[in-house]
């Protein structure tokens, strides 16, 4: 999503008015100051607040969905402001900032933060984001890698493809678009006609692509109506794989075990794909650990921020696997678990099978239901064969002449790298493949994929 679609050119900030909107406990923090300023890259004004000593290392906090805005950080703000120069704000469209119908996308928010924070810090800073703010922070760290000393992500929303991520739409109030998000087949063009009446019909696309709603200011105002819905849909539609590949800063990830909005699967994906990443799970929290366990969140942040900086990431190609002649098999069983090194694994007619931290030369799955996590398969022929099965794969790599051969199956791939000297995916019979923040590399194509594909029999990717 580019900045050219209705984005205003950045304007110099002009302080408009001081604010006294925060509670006494926040206004009494050392170095507290707040103001309304003209919003870089957006229309209207934004609320900005700083606390803590200005000479201390800077910490920028980016909030998630919800009209609380930067107030979401208040339970942990005193602990941070005692040691760091904290900068936070209500994102355009949220909290005390101007609410409009702008394109509230991760890319535009990243440009906004770059313009807003630059004059307030000297050099690189620590970046912390929660929920949608975590997605924005992730995008920022990929877009401006030199700006970010440390990246801290909390219950990040929007990483998985929308077909695997309907809960986020529900929580954001995107009920009027669930026909698209859940794949029920209702066309976007028809929805737009119903919502905007005949006057808007010349604007409708031939393709029922929900991104068209975001790019058109009239449809944003009529179909989506609120900044929360605009920002939620923009986050859902974003492909974060390119940003993930460009992040250089060491990363700390925090997740609530009971998060019903952003699946822990996203945390596992990010841990596997981001530099020097560490993941901690809070057992008693859901999507908002700042409210449920503020002391634990503050401790996690202070430990992460106090950790010595690691060198910038140098990416190297993985080495070939040297594996023992050990085979694994499952035949008509359930709840079988595989871990470790194998020459090959065969799974036939099994359910609730789990592969975690597996290295192998071949993996074959037939008539089964399997979950795969943090697994690498390198083969001279076909790395993964899937027939008549449902398989969910997270943070894994498959490399071969054909990385995956799929036959009449459903695959859900999140943070998966596929390398094929002939094809990344060969489709023996029609199948359904969901790609979330993944990458394919073959003579046919080399690209980041974030899409639902339903290829025909005989098709190669």
Question: Based on the domain organization, do 122 and 245 belong to the same domain?
Answer: yes
Q: Are residues 267 and 221 in the same domain?
A: no
Same domain, 195 and 253: no
132-143 vs 106-117: helix axis angle to the nearest 10? Answer: 70
Domain match, 120 and 35 both: yes
The pLDDT of residue 319: 57
How much is the pTM?
0.85
Let me know whether 296 and 188 are in one domain.
no
For residue 320, what pLDDT is reported?
A: 57
| In a domain? residue 459 | no
Distance, in Å, from the CA atom of 43 to the CA atom of 60, rounded to the nearest integer, reads: 22
| Domain assignment of residue 208, given as a range | 162-237
For 178-218, list the strands marked E by DSSP.
none
User: Into how many domains does the chain fold?
Assistant: 3
Cα–Cα distance for residue pair 417/431, rounded to 1 Å: 19
Q: Is residue 3 part of a domain?
A: no
Q: Give every residue of the chain whose pLDDT is below 70, as ranges.
A: 1-20, 165-209, 310-323
CA distance linking residue 102 with residue 123, whole number of Å: 30
Contact between residue 369 and residue 389 where contact means Cβ atoms under 8 Å apart: yes
- Statement to judge: residues 148 and 275 lie in one domain: yes
pLDDT number for residue 176:
46
Distance CA 429, CA 89 (A): 51
Domain membership of residue 198 (yes or no) is yes
245 and 224: one domain?
A: no
Q: Are 344 and 392 members of one domain?
A: yes
- Per-residue pLDDT tens digits for 299-331: 999 999 998 776 655 555 555 556 677 899 999
How remote is the C-alpha of 153 from its chain's centroid?
10
Distance CA 400, CA 403 (A): 5
Say if residue 291 is in the same domain as residue 351.
Answer: no
Q: What's the CATH code of the domain at 355? A: 2.160.20
């Amino acid at each position: 999503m580019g900045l050219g679609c209705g984005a205003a050119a950045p304007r110099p900030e002009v302080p408009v008015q001081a604010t006294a909107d925060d509670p006494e406990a926040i206004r009494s923090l050392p170095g507290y100051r707040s103001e309304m300023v003209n919003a870089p890259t957006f229309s209207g004004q934004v609320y900005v607040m700083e606390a803590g000593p200005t000479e201390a290392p800077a910490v920028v906090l980016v909030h998630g969905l919800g009209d609380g805005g930067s107030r979401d950080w208040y339970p942990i703000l005193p602990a941070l402001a005692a040691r760091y120069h904290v900068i936070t704000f209500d994102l355009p469209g949220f909290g005390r900032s101007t609410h409009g119908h702008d394109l509230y996308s991760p890319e535009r928010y990243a440009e906004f933060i770059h313009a807003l924070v630059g004059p307030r810090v000297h050099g690189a800073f620590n970046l912390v984001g929660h929920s949608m703010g975590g997605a924005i922070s992730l995008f920022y760290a990929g877009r401006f890698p030199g700006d970010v000393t440390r990246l801290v992500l909390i219950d990040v929303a929007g990483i998985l493809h929308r077909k695997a991520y309907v809960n986020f739409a529900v929580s954001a109030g995107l009920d009027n678009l669930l026909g698209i998000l859940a794949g029920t087949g209702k066309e976007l063009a028809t929805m737009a006609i119903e919502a905007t009446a005949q006057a808007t019909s010349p604007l409708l696309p031939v393709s029922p692509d929900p991104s068209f709603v975001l790019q058109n200011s009239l449809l944003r105002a009529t179909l989506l109506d609120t900044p929360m819905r605009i920002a939620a849909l923009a986050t859902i539609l974003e492909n974060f794989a390119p940003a993930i590949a460009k992040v250089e800063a060491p990363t700390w990830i925090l997740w609530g075990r009971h998060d019903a909005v952003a699946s822990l699967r996203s945390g596992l994906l990010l841990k596997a794909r981001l530099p020097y990443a560490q993941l901690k799970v809070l057992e008693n929290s859901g999507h908002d650990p700042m409210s449920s366990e503020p002391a634990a969140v503050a401790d996690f942040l202070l430990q992460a921020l106090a950790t010595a900086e690691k060198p910038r990431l140098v990416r190297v190609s993985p080495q070939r696997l040297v594996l023992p002649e050990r085979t694994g098999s499952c035949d008509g069983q359930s709840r079988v678990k595989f871990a470790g090194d194998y020459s090959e694994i065969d799974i036939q007619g099994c359910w609730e099978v789990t592969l975690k931290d597996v290295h192998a030369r071949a993996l074959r799955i037939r008539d089964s239901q399997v979950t795969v996590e943090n697994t690498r398969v390198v083969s001279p022929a076909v790395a993964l064969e899937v027939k008549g099965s449902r398989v969910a794969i997270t943070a894994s790599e498959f490399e071969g002449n054909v990385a995956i051969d799929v036959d009449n199956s459903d695959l859900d791939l999140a943070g998966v790298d596929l390398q094929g000297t002939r094809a990344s995916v060969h489709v023996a019979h029609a199948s359904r493949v969901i790609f979330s923040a993944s990458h394919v590399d073959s003579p046919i194509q080399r690209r980041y994929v974030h899409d639902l594909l339903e290829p025909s029999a005989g098709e190669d990717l």
